[in-house]
């Protein structure tokens, strides 16, 4: 694996095959009844110990993550991501899912329980590789399932290192990781011994997984791509929201599923918002992740770099106004694309209509809030969205009209381990986090009587 900031070798990851996957699934199947029999309290304790182990190894994990993924140590990046792993392990351990009495009248009684599903497959992306692995495996383990993880081929070392630490606190055979190519992911998605797949990645791959899971009627949680809109209402204070808008869009250098990817600003304050955002963005340091001063990093891989660069070039050709960036240094060793803000851009420009997944934010002017809502809702995806303004009633009224699984007011993308998270439309289905998240890792069973 090569460091996307420098091109230097980070290390070698084993490349495993479908035969290795078979062995992992067999071992996970064998371990599952014993793990389930431990009960909720013992499994929660194991997750709490795993959180402590992650914390004890936090700096080493953050450095591996920074070098392989590219994200800086500081800012909402590598150290933050490792911290989130510990936080989500703890929150998942603390969440309780009690059996629910759904009928209790006239001598009839029915109680809804959640049983283990069996072996859960976890397939993840390269943008937040450690945190998303924890999002997938923590509720799976908590509910008495064992798990087999297939990390992204771009970031296997990060996931291998994380799983090694977590495994210090789990019984043998409960948690496996199989670094492999797409064929290993596809084999996991169609394997008859896998009861559920937790998938986070692109919408296109999500659709492949739906197809390959069909023959075994597998349960799926799909956290797919997004192209989140933010709507700035005319009563917003441009200077006050600039920092929040910036991090909503540029967290992890824009490589975040629920990041602000299209910003709609009312014409009355359009120039002021553009100016405030440009002023804030111009001063945020980007560079090699291990340098303590940086809080923005490179794109993780060349193909993502090319997507971002191509979209910005097309926007320029179409006459959009570049407020900042848009001029990458082609002679540098890493995949650095500068922080880029693009104004006066049409809503149907590809930089708006497609998921850029990088540090280039289009800012679209609107006149009428109804039209902004229509533009925000016009795409096939709906992961997150945000509304920015000073009148809470108005902001909530607009939020209610947005077709997205999460809508933030005066913020974008702040996830919470107790608030369910999932997509609308083609951003996926199923929920993660909190009690709802646990329910999605259990097989519902109603006992009558």
How far apart (Å, rounded) are the C-alpha atoms in residues 260 and 386?
8
Binding interface with ligand NAD (CB under 6 A): 123-127, 132, 150, 152-153, 182, 185-186, 189, 200-202, 205, 208-209, 223-226, 257, 355, 357, 383, 423, 427-428
* Minimum gap (Å) between residue 445 Cβ and ligand NAD: 28
Residues making up the chain, counted from first to last: 449
Quick one: 151 or 238, whose CB is closer to ligand NAD?
Answer: 151
* Minimum gap (Å) between residue 283 Cβ and ligand NAD: 27
Quick one: 320 or 383, whose CB is closer to ligand NAD?
Answer: 383
Give Cα 445 to chain centroid, integer Å. Answer: 30
Count Cα atoms within 13 angstroms, Cβ side, for 361: 31
Of 55, 68, 169, 223, the active-site residue reads 223
How far apart (Å, rounded) are the C-alpha atoms in residues 405 and 65?
28
Strand, coil or helix: what is 40?
helix
Taking the alpha carbons at both ends of the chain, their separation in whole angstroms is 57
* Residue 8 among the catalytic residues: no
* Minimum gap (Å) between residue 112 Cβ and ligand NAD: 27
Quick one: 182 or 396, whose CB is closer to ligand NAD?
Answer: 182
Instruction: Please say whether the dihedral angle defined by the alpha carbons of residues 323, 307, 432 and 15, taken in this order, is positive or negative.
Output: negative
Quick one: 124 or 230, whose CB is closer to ligand NAD?
Answer: 124
How far apart (Å, rounded) are the C-alpha atoms in residues 419 and 321?
38
Quick one: 141 or 258, whose CB is closer to ligand NAD?
Answer: 258
209-213: long-range contacts at Cβ-Cβ below 8 A with a sequence spacing of 24 or more?
A: 209/123, 209/185, 212/186, 213/189
* Minimum gap (Å) between residue 392 Cβ and ligand NAD: 27
When CB distances to ligand NAD are compared, the closest residue is: 185
Cite the DSSP H helix spans in 15-155. 18-56, 58-69, 78-94, 129-142
Quick one: 188 or 236, whose CB is closer to ligand NAD?
Answer: 188
Phi and psi, residue 301, nearest 5°: -150, 165
* Closest among 22, 258, 35 to 137, alpha carbons compared: 35
* Minimum gap (Å) between residue 278 Cβ and ligand NAD: 26
* Closest among 289, 293, 275, 201 to 238, alpha carbons compared: 275
CB within 8 A of 345, min separation 6: which ones?
315, 318, 320, 321, 351, 352, 362, 363, 364
**CB 215 within 8 Å of CB 190:** yes
Tokens read off for 168: 């210090």
Tokens read off for 399: 């939020």
CB atoms within 10 A of CB 110: 13
* Minimum gap (Å) between residue 414 Cβ and ligand NAD: 14
* Minimum gap (Å) between residue 349 Cβ and ligand NAD: 19
Quick one: 6 or 354, whose CB is closer to ligand NAD?
Answer: 354
* Minimum gap (Å) between residue 124 Cβ and ligand NAD: 6
CA distances 96 to 16, 31, 92, Å, are 36, 23, 8
Strand, coil or helix: what is 386?
strand
Quick one: 1 or 233, whose CB is closer to ligand NAD?
Answer: 1
Active site residues: 223
């Amino acid at each position: 694996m090569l460091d996307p900031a420098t091109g230097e070798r980070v290390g070698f990851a084993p490349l495993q095959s479908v035969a290795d996957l078979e062995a992992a699934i067999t071992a996970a199947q064998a371990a599952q009844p014993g793990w389930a029999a431990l009960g909720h309290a013992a499994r929660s304790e194991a997750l709490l110990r795993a959180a402590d182990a992650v914390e004890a190894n936090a700096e080493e994990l953050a450095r591996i993550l920074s070098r392989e993924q590219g994200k800086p140590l500081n800012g909402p990046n590598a150290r933050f991501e490792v911290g989130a792993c510990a936080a989500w392990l703890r929150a998942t351990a603390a969440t309780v899912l009690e059996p629910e009495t759904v009928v209790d009248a006239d001598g009839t009684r029915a109680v809804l329980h959640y049983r283990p599903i069996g072996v859960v497959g976890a397939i993840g992306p390269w943008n937040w590789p450690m945190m998303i692995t924890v999002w997938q495996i923590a509720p799976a383990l908590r509910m008495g399932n064992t798990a087999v993880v297939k990390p992204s081929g771009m970031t296997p070392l990060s996931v291998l290192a994380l799983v090694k630490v977590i495994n210090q606190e789990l019984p043998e055979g409960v948690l496996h990781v199989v670094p492999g190519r797409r064929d290993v992911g596809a084999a996991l998605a169609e394997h008859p011994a896998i009861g559920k797949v937790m998938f986070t990645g692109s919408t296109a791959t999500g659709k492949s997984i739906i197809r390959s899971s069909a023959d075994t009627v597998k349960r799926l949680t799909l956290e797919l791509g997004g192209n989140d809109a933010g709507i700035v209402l005319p009563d917003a204070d441009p200077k006050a929201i600039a920092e929040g808008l910036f991090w909503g869009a540029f967290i992890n250098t824009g490589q975040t599923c629920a990041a602000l990817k299209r910003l709609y600003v009312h014409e009355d304050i359009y120039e002021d918002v553009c100016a405030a955002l440009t002023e804030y963005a111009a001063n945020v340091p980007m560079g090699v992740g291990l340098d303590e001063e940086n809080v923005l990093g490179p794109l993780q891989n060349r193909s993502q770099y090319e997507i971002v660069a191509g979209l910005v070039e097309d926007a320029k050709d179409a006459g959009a106004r570049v407020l900042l960036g848009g001029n990458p240094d082609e002679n540098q060793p890493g995949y650095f694309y500068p922080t880029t803000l693009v104004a006066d851009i049409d809503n149907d420009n590809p930089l708006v209509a497609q998921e850029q997944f990088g540090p280039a934010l289009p800012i679209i002017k609107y006149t009428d809030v109804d039209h902004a809502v229509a533009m925000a809702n016009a795409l096939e995806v709906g992961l997150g969205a945000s509304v920015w303004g000073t009148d809470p009633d108005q902001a909530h009224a607009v939020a209610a009209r947005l077709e997205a699984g999460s809508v933030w007011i005066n913020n974008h993308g702040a996830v919470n381990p107790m608030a369910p998270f999932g997509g609308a439309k083609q951003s996926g289905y199923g929920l993660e986090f909190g009690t709802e998240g646990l329910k999605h890792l259990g097989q519902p069973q109603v006992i009558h009587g």
